[in-house]
Amino acid sequence: MDAGDRPARLAVGVLGAGRVGSVLGAALAQAGHRVVAASGVSDASHRRAAERLGVRPSPPDEVVAAAQLILLTVPDDALPDLVGGLAGTGADLRGKLLVHTSGAYGLSVLEPAARAGALPLALHPVMTFTGRDDDLNRITGISFGVTAPEPLRPVAEALVIEMGGEPVWIADSDRALYHAALAGAANHMVTLIAESQELLRRIGVEHAGRMLGPLLGAALDNVLRLGITGLTGPVVRGDAGTVRKHVDALILAAPEAADAYVALARLTADRALAAGLLKPEEAERLLDALGGNIWT
């Protein structure tokens, strides 16, 4: 296969037919490629292989032998050993597209397989996958963080577009920071909202999600459109007394949440100060309320 050409219809194998692998395999099948084999460890993976991909579970070596494009959709920590195992067992990887979907890893994790003749790609879908049936619909229009050797860029771009996504090129050296930015926003947001719901339930609010929904929707819209200038609330207003009351209440009700609140309030104050939204004297009062130096 010519690495510079748009990919023809390919035989696709999935190593790790979990939440991500089953969705991307199904998306490639919808684009006209053919899923020929898949592997998985759990019963849920076996079920997804049958229901979403239309194949019975196979051992990894059989998946590799049958496929021209191999999706490596395993947890990040398992990826180096998987790649090393494929290369170490002498699997015939020559001319085969080897695609991992990790956000944090770039191309270096695929180097052992590349030395054996594989064509390495990193295609990370910027979406959360829950295992629900609507996951396939949710990838339409999302971004993929793409890292590829220069000759394979057209192939990577074509595959992402075929899956309904938009390729965004990420330098290999920037993958860890890229993924930290995404995880910090999405994963920590879930934790923060879940914590807020729990605190509201403790004081008798029955429908915490209903209360939070409009507020969070507006806040998300503001930051995506306006960046830090869309910030509202007591920190940007310089309301040090209110912030101190928050900290005191959290220390009593949920000490672990108090630590997170202080850290995030310090970061918020730092950003607001740098953007000119907060005056230095207001920042000093917040500093006292938070019990630390926001410039350290």
The structure's pTM equals 0.87
CA distance 49 to 47: 5
Per-residue pLDDT, 241: 95
What's the rounded mean pLDDT across residues 212-218?
97
pLDDT at position 292 is: 52
pLDDT at 2 exceeding the cut of 50: no
Pick from 70, 127, 124: nearest CA to 93: 70
Average the pLDDT over each of 8-12, 41-45, 282-286 and give the range with the smallest value.
41-45
Residues of the chain with CATH 1.10.1040: 177-290
Q: Are 291 and 262 in contact (CB under 8 A)?
A: yes
Give CA–CA dist 200/193, Å, rounded.
11
Higher-confidence position of 289 and 8: 289
d(C-alpha 111, C-alpha 17), whole Å: 23
pLDDT at 175 over 80: yes
What pLDDT shows up at residue 282? 94
For the chain, the C-alpha Rg in angstroms (whole number) is 23
What are the residue ranges of CATH 3.40.50.720 in the chain? 11-170
CA separation, residue 115 to residues 61, 99, 120 (Å): 18, 15, 10
| Average pLDDT for 135-142 | 92
Percentage of residues in the chain having pLDDT higher than 70? 96
Q: What percent of the chain has pLDDT over 90?
A: 84
* pLDDT tens, position by position, 247-267: 999 999 999 999 999 999 999
pLDDT in tens, 154-164: 999 999 999 99
Q: Residue 6 pLDDT more than 70?
A: no
Torsion of CA 236, 240, 244, 250, to 10 degrees: -10
Residue 7 pLDDT level (bands cut at 50, 70, 90): low
Q: How far is CA 54 from the centre of its chain?
A: 26
CA 261, 267, 281, 284 torsion-angle sign: positive
CA 109 vs CA 84, 92, 99: distances in Å:
9, 18, 11
**What gap in Å lies between CA 48 and CA 62, rounded to an integer?**
18
The mean pLDDT of the chain is 93
DSSP 8-state code for residue 7 = P
What's the CATH number for 177-290?
A: 1.10.1040
- The CATH code that applies to domain 11-170 is 3.40.50.720
